[in-house]
Structure 1
Amino acid sequence: MFFGGFNYYGNSFEQTYRCYPASFIDKPQLEIGDKIIMPPSALDRLASLHIDYPMLFELHNAATERVSHCGVLEFIAEEGMIYMPYWMMQNLLLQEGDIVRVKNATLPKGTYVKLQPHTKDFLDISNPKAILETTLRNFSCLTTGDSIMVAYNNKKYYIDIVETKPSSAISIIETDCEVDFAPPLDYKEPERPQTSLTRSNAPEQAHHDLQNEAEVEKKFTPFVGVGRRLDGKPSKENTPSIGSSVKDNKSETIDGTKRLSPSNSEGSSSRQAKGKLIFGSNANRTPKEEPKVAPKEANEQPEKKEEPKFQAFSGKKYSLKG
């Protein structure tokens, strides 16, 4: 049957057109959705065939054997031409001016669809489910194998239609459809932590740990130093050698004053004046009396006699009677 210069067969609509992207006309909203713009003659034929609404069509690229489905937005295109979203032309592998066959179709209402974003950026949106629901309101149908485009916040996100039920092409107009998401194409699983050491390597690792602990113990030696007593005496643990015993007799006390060695305590006590109090090992010292200097070594020259020092209570006696 020939109608208005175009061929229509029986009770179905089927015609070939040259396709062009939506950027050729002032219809930017055409990119958000899956609807095409057809010539007025197509509307006349569809009306005469009593095609059910909503009108759905099958798009077929005979050169690449690619098939997709779409709806219709308006019938204002030039005769022999149709305009469609650019992402649909990419799905069908069509270039500007290529021939595409358009045929009316009846699709079942969808019950399930599985989607897979191209990038994980889509999942970073605050509410991707709400954005997807809003975008799919502009769609009439979905076809397994297609990649739809979702525009949000001046950015385009592409999503693959992985699976649809109950058929490979479904209508999503006025239907409750379950939606499932597959991991994004650029998603990478996090690296698993390294497993623990095997039993064969466990003894070697334990031996290595013991060696490390031994080295640490060698390096760290607490309480290292020379012990000193508070009374100025030399420590028993650090007993000096015989050769240095003479010099040790001149050792100083903690406050810097010199003291007599224990070997000279007997000789000095004989020179102690009578009537003086004696306290412990410092019997050679009197109150307010300065310590005497220990004798020098035998091989040294004798020292000159020191002038008599001041001694307390050594003056004359006087009686109160006169």
Structure 2
Amino acid sequence: MFFEGYGYHGNSFEQSYRCYPASFIDKPQLEAGDKIIMPPSALDRLASLHIDYPMLFHLSNDATNRVSHCGVLEFIAEEGMIYMPYWMMENLLLQEGDIIHVKNVTLPKGTYVKLQPHTKDFLDISNPKAILETTLRNFSCLTTGDSIMVAYNNKKYYIDIVETKPSSAVSIIETDCEVDFAPPLDYKEPERQQTPVPAASKLGAQVQETETESEDAQIFTPFTGAARRLDGKAPKDESPIVVSPANNGKSKSINSMKQAIPSTSRSNSSRQTMGKLVFGSNSNPASRGAQKAAATNETKEEPPKKEEPKFQAFTGKKYSLKG
């Protein structure tokens, strides 16, 4: 294998050429795909080898260790030269007239491809999937790590080949291939903004807590007052009733009632010993007897009252009409 004399040796096609962009031969359609233009001698060599169709090639830049894959469109280039899309030269880091190594290969049919647009503008297209399918019809193969160019509406969109299956380079001619999209390179997730709490709402919450505390402090507790006698005298052996606060209002009233009942019975007994009449008291028979005797003594001491004559009918004097 050698470059001088354009000779070919071996059982496979393998040759080095000087590369130039497609604009040098007025072939702008090359930019919409991955096909190159080779010299006629390459066609003679390929035909003699009986290689598989479609013809696919492995491109390598030995100076930078960059590789890619492509197909062929025509065999009309000058000997020792090939023409390729400019975006492909960018992937291989090639300049005009640099040496490129070309070798024929056979690639498996692709089953999965993951793509990543460079900018979010590609997703703003009305139907990016249809545009991508139309563009890929001009491609023969895809290589992991390459950046392909999609032209639409007088604008160029670059898309990275992130992953290919079943190998790092696959053929996409007459095959059903699943396509997945990664987020664009310039995509940024929206930052979650913490909503500040208004000062008015904080003040309202504080006022509400204060009101709740004041309401708890002003809860009415029954049966906590001091005992009083009906005759106005101070009660004897009376201790103030203390009720322990509880969380439940019902428990407060029940505890207060339990403490108030014995104090009431003590006040009733003291009232009965003083000889005073107590309304609604459940006094014992002895106290009732004492009260009855006291009432009898009071009745005896009072002087008897003279009864006034009662009116009797038809008891007056009689008178005559004659006078």
Larger Rg: 2
Higher helix proportion: 2
Q: CA RMSD in A?
A: 2.4
Q: Which amino acid aligns with 1:169?
A: A
Shift of 1:8: 2.7
Where do 5+ consecutive residues of structure 1 fail to align? 198-203, 214-322
Instruction: Map 1:1-322; keep pairs closer than 5 Å.
Output: 5-194=5-194, 208-209=203-204
Distance (Å, rounded) in 1 between the aligned partners of 2:41 and 2:156: 34
How far off is 1:211 after superposition? 7.1
Q: Is the 8 A contact 2:2 2:15 kept in 1?
A: no
Alpha-carbon contact 1:113-1:163 (below 8 Å) kept:
yes
| 1:179 maps to amino acid | V
How far apart, in 2, do the equivalents of 1:4 and 1:98 lie?
16
Question: Aligned partners of 2:24 and 2:111: how far apart in 1?
Answer: 36
Partner of 2:255: none
Q: Secondary structure at the match of 1:5?
A: helix
Distance, in Å, in 1 between the alignment partners of 2:202 and 2:140 is: 71
Amino acid at match of 1:150: V
Distance (Å, rounded) in 2 between the aligned partners of 1:157 and 1:130? 14
Q: Percent identity?
A: 87
CA 149–3 in structure 1, closer or farther in 2 if over 3 Å, else same? closer
Q: CA deviation at 1:143?
A: 0.1
1:71 aligned partner, one-letter code: G
d(CA) in 1 for partners of 2:135 and 2:128? 10
Query: TM-score normalised to the size of structure 2?
Result: 0.61
Residue identity opposite 1:24 in structure 2:
F
In the alignment, the residues of structure 1 paired with residue 2 and residue 81 of structure 2 have an alpha-carbon distance, to the nearest angstrom, of 18
Amino acid corresponding to residue 13 of structure 2 in structure 1: F
Three-state SS of the structure 1 residue aligned to 2:97 is coil
Which runs of no fewer than 5 residues in structure 2 stay unpaired?
A: 209-323
- Give 2:186's aligned amino acid: D
Deviations 1:211-236 (A, max 9, x none): 799xxxxxxxxxxxxxxxxxxxxxxx
**Contact 2:3–2:15, Cα closer than 8 Å, also in 1:** no
Normalising by structure 1, we get a TM-score of 0.61
The alignment of Structure 1 onto Structure 2 pairs a total of residues equal to 208
Shift of 1:193: 3.1
Question: How many angstroms apart in 1 are the aligned matches of 2:120 and 2:55?
Answer: 34
Structure 1 Cα separation of the partners of residues 202 and 156 of structure 2: 59
Kindly state the Cα deviation for residue 9 of structure 1 after the two structures are TM-superposed: 3.5
- Matches of 1:96 and 1:177 in 2, distance apart? 34
> In the alignment, residue 73 of structure 1 is paired with which amino acid?
L
Taking a change above 3 Å as real, the CA distance of residues 77 and 192 of structure 1, as seen in their structure-2 partners, is same
- TM-superposed CA distance for 1:195, in Å, is 6.6
